[in-house]
Amino acid sequence: MNKDNEMLIDFMIMGAMKSGTTALFTYLAVHPQIFIPSYKELHFFDTDRYFDKNINYKIYHDLFMHSHNGQLLGDGTHTHMYQQECIPRIKNYNPDVKMIFILRNPVERAYSHYNLSLRKEKEDLDFLKALELEKQRKSRNPLPVYRTWYSYIEKGLYVNQIKYILNFFPLKQMHFIKTENLKLNFEDELKLLFDFLNIEKIKMLPFMLVNFQKYLPVPQGSKEFAIKQFKPDILELEKLLNWDCSDWYKI
């Protein structure tokens, strides 16, 4: 299969949604050894029509035409982590691709996702009711609608998503960042990431939030309900990644 003279994307910022992928994308884009297109969400591997018959990677590679020789090429589409159909497509494209995951407290991630749906006038329920009715909405709405606007809990169940990807890629090709650590220990996290990508450790500007929106704290009743949904997954994630996520399930 022709991949445009074997041009291949080297790494992908896979997700999770509302976890800081845009901030990381913005920082990596200024590194001289990296080329990322000027806009973040390329949505090639999650677009079915590109994979119906003959796959034309030129459509994808044209987005990287202004890169320079020797630069690492990166894609920042956050849906890759969550949408399973992307993973075998990516594996077929480049089995050696490196994957970056940013994982946020799933309760906070869900609430941020919910507030995005409110701002886009896609949501008319309060947060607790939206969580309680998520499974019903999945059965009643077209899948793209549910995935984009109402998958508040499902997108925060990280272990199932990671385990599915592990069926196709080894753990050594994956790098995981905790959103909270990216904020608190920005320079250290970047050094670890630069090591993973095998690029020069350069001095970056202090961490800044991107796409930051202020909203009220998670309502207590909603928070308790959400923690109950997420805690088994969080406990499993701690074992899988050898992380301490106890702050994620504190009431």
Cα gap 251→247, rounded to integer Å: 9
- Please name the amino acid found at residue 227: I
3-class secondary-structure state, position 147 = helix
| Contact in structure between 251 and 227 (CB atoms under 8 Å) | yes
Model pLDDT for residues 15-68, shown as the tens digit of each residue: 899 998 988 888 898 899 999 998 889 999 999 999 988 898 999 999 999 999
DSSP category for residue 19: S
Query: Residue 119, SS3?
Result: helix
Task: Locate 244 and state its tokens.
Answer: 């301490």
All domains in the chain, ordered by first residue:
11-121+158-216 (3.40.50.300)
What would the pLDDT profile of 93-152 be if each residue is shown by its tens digit? 999 999 999 999 999 999 999 999 999 999 999 999 999 999 999 999 999 999 999 999
Rg (CA), the chain: 18
The beta-strand segments (E) located in the chain are 11-15, 34-35, 72-75, 98-103, 174-178
- Give pTM, 2 decimals: 0.92
